[in-house]
Amino acid sequence: MEYFIIGGVSLLTAILTFFSGFGVGTILTPVFVIFFPIEIAIAMTAIVHFLNNLFKVGLTYKNIDKSVLLKFGLPAIPFALLGAWLLVSISTENTLLAHFTFLKLICKIYLIQLIVGLLMLFFAIAELFPSFKKDTIKHKHLLIGGSISGFFGGLTGHQGALRAMFLIKSGLSKEAFIATGIAIACFVDISRLTIYFGKVQNINIQENIGIIATATLCAFVGAYFGKMLLKKITINTIQYIVSALMIIISILLIFGII
């Protein structure tokens, strides 16, 4: 049963998130948690997420905007390392603000997740207004965007939505937006995995190779179909997809569901 559920979610999520550039890890982790302990679920999701991003780079590399990749991706690397290091090495408390039970699910609202969620929600709602949608971010501001998304990516794992928030405003074509975002995600994934490696070691690879392979291959198929559908959608459609996913994820973060 877990093969069918995890494989199906991986497939559908990979199709949808191909256009937004984020969401696979956020959606897939809770599904893995249903069947595995949390630390193993996180590690397995990280493996699937990284391999899927590598596959998508192979599908889209010709459309990568190298200027944006360097200006946004390079500062994201050290700040992702910093955020991940803070997460696993420093005993700084992430203040628990509140906790409650919803449909037998224990929800915990933490300060950092609340800040990230509110930030995402503000920009997601603002993106729906035509006057804000027409604004563009200058390339010099991409350094700031890369630093912010990289840091919170290492600290909380939610760098994809923040990255998309900046890149969608950078004036890229839909092809370049998707391809460049995927390449930057690979940078951040590599940086994070060097710090998170201890979690990956918790996995018995031989015992769980089947479910990891199933989820990864289904994600590959989903990414392939996403690439096929790219010709049929517009950059405005991608903007609405990004905004919708940001709103959903931000609400889940704010209320401590993820």
In the chain, where the domains are located: 2-254
Confidence label for 78 from pLDDT (cuts 50, 70 and 90): confident
pTM of the predicted model as reported, rounded to 2 decimal places: 0.74
Which one has a higher pLDDT value, 216 or 167?
A: 216
Look at 90 and 14; give whichever has higher pLDDT. Answer: 14
Give the closest residue to 42 by CA, choosing from 25, 54, 22.
25
- Decide: 42 and 29 in contact? Cβ < 8 Å: yes
- Tell me which DSSP letter residue 140 carries: G
Measured CA to CA, the distance from residue 243 to residue 237 in angstroms comes to 10
Rounded-to-integer distance, Cα 230 and Cα 28, Å: 22
Tell me the per-residue pLDDT of 166-182, one tens digit each, with 9 for 90 and over: 787 777 888 898 999 88
Structure tokens that stand for 132 in this block = 């804000």
Structure tokens at 134: 């027409």
256 conformational bin, left if phi > 0, alpha if psi -120 to 50, beta if neither: left
